[in-house]
Amino acid sequence: MQTKTLNELHDINMKSSEINQLSNIPVIWGVEVDEIVTRPPLGLRQIGLLWDGEAPDMISDNLIDSVISFSLAGVEVIVEIRPEDRIDHDYLLVIAANAGFCISAIPPERKSGVETWSNQCARFADALMAASNFSGNLYPVSGYLTYLVMEYFGGAKAAVPSDLYTRQRFAEQVPQNWSDIAKSHMRKSLSDAAGGENELKGYLGSILKAIHGEARRQRLQQLKAWKSTESQTAA
C-alpha cells in the first residue's frame, strides 16, 4: 500500500471510510464523515472532521459518534467549520467542552470566501469570550489570542506557529492579506466583547497571569517530587 504525504492530502476529498488506506501520517484533516471508524490508521494522532449537522444547533449523530470513537482511540479530534457552514457558535463550544474536541474555522479555497470566513472567525471569537467551560483549541482564534498577548506584553509583531495543524492548515495555506482581514475581524469582535481595547488588554493580562500561575504550580510540583525522591534515596 502506497503511503500518501501530508502535502498530497490537501488535494483529496477524503471520507472517513477511506482513511485506513493511509499509514504513518500523524495529522489528517478535511475528512467527511460517512462512516464511524473504530480502528484509526497506525500513527494517526490528530484528525480534522468536517462539520455535519441537521441544524445550526444540532450536530449529527455520525459526527459526534465519530468524535467519541477517535477520542477513545487516543486521537485528538478537531471539528472543522467551513466558511459557509451555518453554526450556532455558542452551542458548538458547549458541545466541544463536554465531548472534549477542538474546533477550527477553516479558511476558504478562494478569495471570494475570505469575508465569510473572517465573519465566521469573528463569531467564534465572540462566543469564546462568553464561554465559561471551553478549554480546548479554537483555531485560529486561540492562536490569535496568543499573538495578542505577545503583542501587548512582549512587543511581538509576528508569531510562528509551533503545531503541525496550524502550520499546514493555516500558515502555509492562507495568503497574508487574507489572514490580516480575519485578524481585523477577530480583533474588533474581541474588543467589543471585552468592552474596549483597554478592557481587552486587561483580559489578556489575566490570561498571561493564569499561564504564569500554572507554570509556577507545575514547577513547585516537580520540585516537591524531586525532594521526595531525594529523601527516599538518602534513607
Sequence-distant (≥ 6) Cβ neighbours of residue 113 within 8 angstroms: 83, 84
Phi, psi of 109, deg, nearest 5: -85, -25
Per-residue pLDDT for 78 more than 90?
yes
Residue 195 has pLDDT above 50, yes or no: yes
Residue 227 has pLDDT above 70, yes or no: no
> CA–CA separation, 100 vs 10, rounded Å?
26
User: What is the model's pLDDT at position 150?
Assistant: 83
pTM of the model: 0.84
Query: Is pLDDT of 181 > 70?
Result: yes
Q: Are 22 and 41 in contact (CB under 8 A)?
A: yes
pLDDT digits (tens, 9 = 90+) for 116-127: 999 999 999 999
77, 67 Cβ separation under 8 angstroms: yes
Mean pLDDT (whole number) for 10-14: 56
Query: For the chain, which residues make up each domain, given as ranges?
Result: 6-141+156-195
DSSP single-letter state for residue 109: S
DSSP 18-77: GGGG--S-SEEEEEB-SS--SSPPTT--EEEEE--EEETTEE-HHHHHHHHHHHHTT-EE
Mean per-residue pLDDT of the chain: 85
